[in-house]
Each structure stands twice: as C-alpha cells, then as structure tokens.
Structure 1
Amino acid sequence: MAVRHTLNLWRQELGEAPDSVWQQTELHVLILADNGLTVLPPEIGQLHQLNTLDLGHNALTSVPEELGRLTGLSGCLYLHDNQLTQLPDCLGNLARLRYLNVGENSLTALPESIGGMSGLIELRAQHNRLTTLPDAIGRLRSLRELWLRGNAIEHLPTSAADLHELRHLDLRENSLHAVPESLAGLPRLRQIDLRSNHLGHLPDWLALMPSLEKLDLRWNEVDPSLPLISELERRGCVVLT
C-alpha cells in the first residue's frame, strides 16, 4: 500500500506559510486552514502529487494561477471562508477534482472554465454574490450535489438541464421568481431546497420528475392547497410549505 504523506498545519496562526511547505513535493494532503493567510506564493504549483488541499478559513483575496498546475488533485479543494471576489481560469485544469468548496466568499460569478472540472461530484458555492451560473456548468456531467444557498440567483442557465447525475440542489435564500425550467428533465434529482425565494407559482412538470423525494418551499408565496402539491405527496414526495 502506498504511503500517503500528509501535512496538517490547521490553526497554527501562521499568517504566512513557511517556505519549507512548498519544498515537500511528496505531499498528498496539505491542510493550511484557519491560519490568517492573505497570499499564496507561486511555489504552490510545485506540489504535483497533492490529492487534497485545504485553504479554508483564511483571508485570501486571490488564488495564484499556479494552482492550475496541481492536476493531480482528485480529492478535495477547500477555498471557503476567504475574501475571494473571483476565481482564476486555471481551476478548469483540475479535471480530476471531485469536491470543490468556494462558499463564504464574495464571488459575483464563477468562471466559464469551471466546465473543465469534469470530475466534480460536489460543488459548494453558498453565501456568495452570484446572480446566475456560467453556461459551462452543464459540462459537469458527474455532478451530484450543487449547493448555492445564500446568493442572489435569479435564474439558472439552460445548460443546467445537462446535469443528469444531479441528486441534491440547494437554492435556498436566493432571488428566484420561478422554479428554473432547466430542472424539468433531470432524471435523478431527489431533493430541491427552494426556501426563502420569491416563488408564487409552481410548474406542472414538477409532478413528472421521476426521482423527486423532497421539495422544500417554505418562506415563499406558494399556496399549500395547490393540486400539484397534493399530487407530489400522493406519489411519495415530501413537500414542505
């Protein structure tokens, strides 16, 4: 069994990662979370064997392009709870990555290059300033979970209809006035969280979604006596109003 090299520097009050970190090119897991980091050096691109990288809970305002050299990342990349206003296009090089967390930042958009992250199974972008997603989101054909809570999303692109593996969609606390039509044909979508939007109408196609098990509509203006809701409940879907 291969030895997995891990360096855990969680909550060490570093302020800046020591140069010796970037010289450990055998690392598979690097944890630098909660250290008050404000910048990452380009030398991070030397860690070609990294599988998982945790940079969450810092004060990063940008991510270096050299991050895109870490094409061996096939586990998790944590960038949540920083001060990022945009993500670099180089993230699209991480085609093997399975989990990406960019929540709790100040992102107003996700880059089109995110479509290159074809291995993603879970994407978390909650609590940012997103109003929509890039068209390239539809290229994430392996995506099973999409977390978008606490943004300002008004609609989803039509390409979201290509997310055929999607099981869980969290759109709580956004600016939706209608249930996104691009969800209509998603065959494996089981749970949709639409709490705290501006919904007043439900489309009839919701009753035709073959795998829907839970639909959360609380804190909207939806009439709980709608026949559609009764139909969903009749076939076993839990509807919360």
Structure 2
Amino acid sequence: MPGRDAPGSATPSPAASDIAVPAAGWAPPGAVRFAGGVPVALVAPGAGLASLPAALGDMVTLRHVDLDGNALTTVPGWIARLERLRVLLLYGNRIAALPPELGRLVSLEHLGAGHNALTTVPDTLWRLTRLRSLVLAENEITDLPPGLARLRELRMLDLGHNRLREVPVEIGDLPCLTDYLYLSDNGFTSVPASLGRLDRLGYLNLAENRLAALPETIGGMAGLHELRVQDNRLTALPETIGRLSGLRELHLKNNRLAALPESIGGLRALRHLDLRGNPLERLPDSVVRLTALTHLDLRATRLRTLPDGLAELPRLEKLDLRWVKFDQVPGCVRPLRERGCVVLL
C-alpha cells in the first residue's frame, strides 16, 4: 500500500554508525539509538506496545520515531516535548485521535498515521508547516478542517481509503505537491477545479470513488505522468485531457465512457492506456497518434471495429481485446502479431 511505504522510503534510517544500546524495559533491546551520547531515534515497529511511557517524553533529542505496527490506542499530549522530531511513524496501530498538541512539533517533516481508527484530524495539524509527506490513509476520516493550504512544503499527501465526503478546495494551494496525491477509495462525487493548479504533481490517484466527471482544469496539470481514475462513474473525459503531454499512464477501467475525445491523440508520451470495462463503441481516429503506446487494454468494451492505423503504432507490445464482440477480426490484428505484438482475442 502506498500510504504504508511513502514516508519511510522518503526518510533515511539513522546512520549505521549510530551507537545502539539496550533501551528501557518498555522497548526492545537496541530500539533506542544514540549519536554523540544522546538518543536520536526510537525504532520499534511491531514491538507490541499498547501505550507509551512518560519516560519517552524525556528523550527530547529524538529526531526519528518509528512505532509502526504496534497496538497503540492513543498518542499522549506530552509528545509535544519532542520538539526536534522530524519523523513520526504510527502506521497500523489503533489510534482513534491525534492530540492537538501534535501541532507543536514544528520540526516534523514526515508524519505517517495511516491504518488507524481516526475519524477526524485536529486543525492544529496544519501548524506543521515543514511537513513534506503526510499519510492519513486507511482511516475513517469524513472531513478535513480548514487550513490544509498552510502546508506549503508538502510534497506527498495520502488520504486514500477514508470516507471523505468532498475534496477540500484548498488542495490546489499546495505549491510543492510534486510526488503523489492519493485520494482513492473515499466515495466523493466530484473534485474541485483547483486541482488544475497542481501543475507540478506527477501522480494522481482518484480511483474507486463516485466521480461522474473530471474538471476541465485537469488540462493544467502539466506535470502528470500517471493518472488513475478507474472504478468511477465517468461518462466523458474533458477535451483538455489532451494537454497532458507528459502523461505516461492513464487508467480508466470500469467507468461509463461510451466515447473518448479526439484530443486524446495529444498524449504523445502515453505508454499504458486501460479502458477495460467501459461501454466504448468506437475509438477516435487520433489514437493512431499515440506513438509511445506499449499497452492498450480494451477488454469488455462494446467496440465493433478498430482503426486500421493501430497496426502502425511502432511500440505497441500488447493489445488486449478479450470479451469484445467484433463484427469481424479487426484488420490491425494480423500485422501486429506478425511484428511480435501480443494480441489477445
């Protein structure tokens, strides 16, 4: 799961040269790591901890705390005493609420609190203006308080697998959001036009929601290289999607698309196009301009014919046509197979 891995992968573990010594009885041996004679890290994932002792609050020099996969139900307010903390990992616990005091950890750069029991987050979280990655995935969050736009340094945000009723308009005001934005599996019915202002974002996941449309402004997301919108209710794509000239993957499986805009031929960097399970009746002629395409999935669509020009796509390696009822075998199939493309009928 992306939410599980992103903060840890973005932040190096303490150096191997750090001195590791046995910790107090509440932590596994070697969990507390020292540098220059002072504790700088607590690394105790999966240690079975049900609570945190107050003694941890005395380790004010800690910079890295990894408590993933324990049995914690609360985060005590005294955690704010760890004012040098840069990394706090709490994935896979049973935490029902984050304390408002968390907002006093102003040095924090990576916060992972996915796969817990959160239903809300405190508005003091937005005081953490040095955050570069924030993972709140796999919780029960329905709404976010105002103030998200204060996280001006945020590069990665994971809100997937929650119960968000809407995407905050403020999400478009995160100028450093460049790496990932996960909003999958929530249930919202629309996304704000402000998404189009995220012109440096590389990866956007809107899968498994109830979207009937994408905003026209999506054409402004010039940095996108991967867009996932599968398992929604899209009936059409905006013409502006053709402006995403750097897009390499477009995942549209299991929507309600009966047609594609002619502008899709502008996706000159597109390598992977997944249209499986849509009621597509025809492909636009412009698809023959997708000269970087290597994988085209048209399974379970309502196509009756294909453009002959598909045979001229120079890099096409796999064309999946299973469960498509053609009037006759498309003319592009034979020449594609003869040059080594895998065509599945």
In structure 2, relative to structure 1, the CA distance for the partners of 1:230 and 1:28 (3 Å cut) is same
* Partner Cα distance (1:195, 1:27) in 2: 42
Q: Which residue of 291, 303, 315 corresponds with 1:211?
A: 315
Deviation per CA, 1:49-104, whole angstroms, max 9, x where unpaired? 00000000011111111111101100000000011111101101101000000010
Count the aligned residue pairs.
Answer: 241
Per the alignment, do residues 116 and 228 of structure 1 end up closer, same or farther by CA in structure 2, a change over 3 Å counting? closer
**1:89 equivalent among 193, 218, 222:** 193
For 1:100 and 1:121, the matched residues in 2 are separated by 9
Q: For residues 139 and 240 of structure 1, what CA distance do their matches in structure 2 show?
A: 31
Given that 2:235 and 2:256 are in contact with CA atoms closer than 8 Å, whether structure 1 keeps it comes out as yes
My pick for the range that moved more, 187-196 or 214-223, is 214-223
Structure-2 residue corresponding to 1:22: 126
TM superposition shift of 1:201: 1.5
Residue by residue over 1:163-205, the C-alpha shift from the partner in whole angstroms, topping out at 9 and shown as x without a partner, is 0000000000001112332211111011100000112222211
1:147 positional shift: 0.2
Paired AA for residue 61 in structure 1: R
1:114 aligns with 2:218: yes
% identical aligned pairs: 50
Contact kept? 1:164, 1:187, Cα under 8 Å? yes
Mark the CA change 1:160 to 1:109 in structure 2 (over 3 Å): closer, same or farther: same
**Cα contact 1:115–1:136 (8 A) shared by 2:** yes
Aligned 8 A contact 1:216 1:239 in 2:
yes
CA deviation digits over 1:124-180, x for unaligned, max 9?
000000012101101111100000000011111111111000000000000111233
Q: 2:263 aligned to 138, 159, 169, which one?
A: 159
SS of equivalent to 1:232? helix
Q: Which runs of 5+ in 2 are unaligned?
A: 1-10, 13-85, 88-108
Please say if residues 189 and 212 of structure 2, whose CA atoms lie closer than 8 Å, have aligned partners that are also in contact. yes
Q: 1-side partners of 2:226 and 2:332: how far apart?
A: 30
Larger Rg: 2
1:158-177 alignment, distance < 5 Å:
158-177=262-281
Q: 2:228 aligns with which of 95, 119, 124?
A: 124
SS at match of 2:332: helix
Alignment root-mean-square deviation, CA:
1.7
The alignment's TM-score, normalised by the length of structure 1, stands at 0.95
Distance apart, 1:226 and its partner CA: 4.9
3-state DSSP of counterpart to 1:118? coil
Partner of 1:64: 168
Q: CA separation in 1, counterparts of 2:331 and 2:204?
A: 39
Query: Contact between 2:193 and 2:216, CA under 8 Å: does it hold in 1?
Result: yes
What letter corresponds to residue 200 of structure 1 in structure 2?
A: R
Give the aligned partner of residue 178 of structure 2.
Answer: 74
State the alpha-carbon separation in 2 of the partners of residues 227 and 87 from structure 1. Answer: 40
| Unaligned runs of at least 5 residues, structure 1 | none
**Distance between the aligned counterparts of 2:235 and 2:339, measured in 1?**
33
One of 187, 190, 198 as aligned partner of 2:291: 187
CA 1:143–1:227 in structure 2 vs 1: closer, same or farther (change >3 Å)?
closer
**Are the structure 2 counterparts of residues 41 and 228 from structure 1 closer, same or farther at C-alpha, using a change threshold of 3 Å?**
same
Residue 224 (structure 1) shift:
7.5
Q: Give the alignment partner of residue 251 of structure 2, picking from 144, 147, 159.
A: 147
Question: Aligned equivalents of 1:152 and 1:84: distance in 2?
Answer: 17
Measured in 1, the distance between the counterparts of 2:152 and 2:177 equals: 8
Contact 2:305-2:330 within 8 A present in 1 as well: no
Query: 2:265 touches 2:289 (CA, 8 Å); kept in 1?
Result: yes
Q: Distance in 2 between matches of 1:16 and 1:226?
A: 53
For residues 75 and 134 of structure 1, what CA distance do their matches in structure 2 show? 24
Shift of 1:18: 2.3
Taking the aligned partners of 2:277 and 2:195, their CA distance within structure 1 comes to 27
Distance 1:206 1:102, change over 3 A: same
